[in-house]
A and B are shown apart, each in its own frame.
Chain A
Amino acid sequence: GAGVSQSPSNKVTEKGKDVELRCDPISGHTALYWYRQSLGQGLEFLIYFQGNSAPDKSGLPSDRFSAERTGGSVSTLTIQRTQQEDSAVYLCASSGTSGSGELFFGEGSRLTVL
């Protein structure tokens, strides 16, 4: 596609439920990133993929968070047993190279945990 596509754009869930967020990067981009933005805050790095592998997952806040990427394209971020503090906008970005390439962001998935 022309840009980074994320779904759903909005998700409301109850505490304790699992959620999946999807990211479809720009076609041909090998690097993919997940970030989280809480209300009024900057962006917090979660995980980086190069192809299907994740050389840096240092930002995942707990073992309730996991992510995978298949076919070097689509990525899914899964949050198990959601908590209220997980409420945030989850942003995905992609880049054409693994080094110093420019990142392009999607519009994000807004997660609200009641």
Chain B
Amino acid sequence: GIQVEQSPPDLILQEGANSTLRCNFSDSVNNLQWFHQNPWGQLINLFYIPSGTKQNGRLSATTVATERYSLLYISSSQTTDSGVYFCAPRAGSGYALNFGKGTSLLVTP
């Protein structure tokens, strides 16, 4: 199946800093989603982005499907951004989203 690698695995930021999270995948995709798992375990949809660029407030994402990577940008980070960020692409031949191991983000005051 499709392989998903996320980097960095862990990240500590001071409030107000910017960051870029990366997701590499091994196959062509027809879907890619970014999720934020908050400290209570809830998975929150951030972006549905199989290709192109989208922005939502302080967050934006870019997927370059031809080069098999996606980036999540977090600007002016806040403590509430803490949690684990998952990238989950779906291979063109598959049914399910395939999750990476995530990036664990801690934003300190």
Contact = CB atoms under 8 A, between A and B. Distances in A.
B33 A56 contact: no
The winner among A35, A45, A55 for most chain B CB atoms within 10 A is: A45
Contact of B95 (A43, A44, A48, A108): A48
A89 B105 CA distance: 21
Contact of A89 (B41, B88, B98): B41
B102 interface: yes
A99 B30 contact: yes
B30 A108 contact: no
Given A42-B102, A100-B31, A100-B50, A56 B96 contact: yes
Interface in A68-104: 89, 91, 93, 98-104
A100 B99 contact: no
B9 to A, nearest CB: 11
A55 B95 contact: yes
Determine chain A's interface SS by DSSP, over half rule.
Answer: strand
A45 B45 CA distance: 17
Interface residues of B, number: 22
A62 interface: no
Interface of A: 31, 33, 35, 41-45, 48, 50, 55-56, 59, 89, 91, 93, 98-105, 107-108
Given A59-B96, A93-B97, 9 more contacts: A33-B96, A42-B86, A42-B99, A42-B100, A43-B86, A56-B94, A100-B30, A102-B31, A103-B45
Contacts of B86: 42-43
B41 A103 contact: no
B28 to A, nearest CB: 12
A107 B41 CA distance: 7
A56 B43 CA distance: 23
A45 B96 CA distance: 7
B99 A101 contact: no
A98 B31 CA distance: 11
A102 B101 contact: no
